[in-house]
Amino acid sequence: MSRSDVENKAGVQRGPEPGFKRLKLTLAYCGTPWRGWQSQDGGGGVQDEINAAIRKATRIETRVQGSGRTDAGVHALAQAAHCDVPETVRMSGESWANALNACLPLTIRILSVEDTAPSFHARFDATGKTYRYRIWRPRMLSPFEADRAWHVYGPLDMDALRWCCEKLVGTHNFIRLSANRGDMPETQRRTLPDKTTRTIHRVDLRENGDVLELEFEGDGFLYKMVRLIVGSLLHVARGREPKEWFASLLNDSTGMQSNQTAPACGLYLVCVNYHS
């Protein structure tokens, strides 16, 4: 088990080993060809590709730690990560980005690299995240949007959609709008509201030409939470459930979980927030 894995398991923060310094990376990726952010047996995770690029560019063995996981097919406009490298490697942030991008597939780009505090942790120091979900509305799906947006054609009740979006803002137990990663029985997860309670600071609903966008800013997001929120919102907007059903998903933690999961292709991690 790597040191980063131990940190994750214990929930503690540790600085670099003596002789090492910590770098903060900001990166973007198209999630279509990848099996999500996290390293996978046999490769295929974005994390695997960045580790390999660092090894190829510098011959340094390190493990990049991200701010959190994104699922297979989910995109990122500005994922955050950190890694530790020897202090003897004296490269500017621009040189790091250029070297890594030269070794990475074109669907993964390093936007910036900077020296950061030894105590900085991309996951544990994050104070919030912003996600955007894109929905393609015309009858014909553009071939250039096939893996970039969810194709939803037909009438939508925009007033009901706005009403539900307003209900999301605030602190709620999202047990019914999240999925179980499998690390504990669902019966146990339902007895731990502290683990499933999150605060949504902002929900924006925008109609940009052919695309409907939903943007969520919050202090954190559970496994598949955004996709379940979007799927449930659209379920109401299509007239398949009343808006009160959506409100009950937030207000009554004892009911059944929503099974309305929007596809991964429309979801984008926009940014990760940290205290300045």
Question: What residues are labeled active site?
Answer: 71
CB 163 within 8 A of CB 236: no
> Residues 250, 164: contact at Cβ < 8 Å?
no
Q: What region does 44 belong to: left with phi over 0, alpha with psi -120 to 50, or beta?
A: left
Cβ neighbours of 44 (radius 10 Å): 16
Quote the CA–CA distance of 189 and 185 in Å, as a whole number: 6
Q: How many C-beta atoms lie closer than 10 Å to residue 158's C-beta?
A: 12
Q: Which residues pair with 23 in a beta bridge?
A: 83, 115
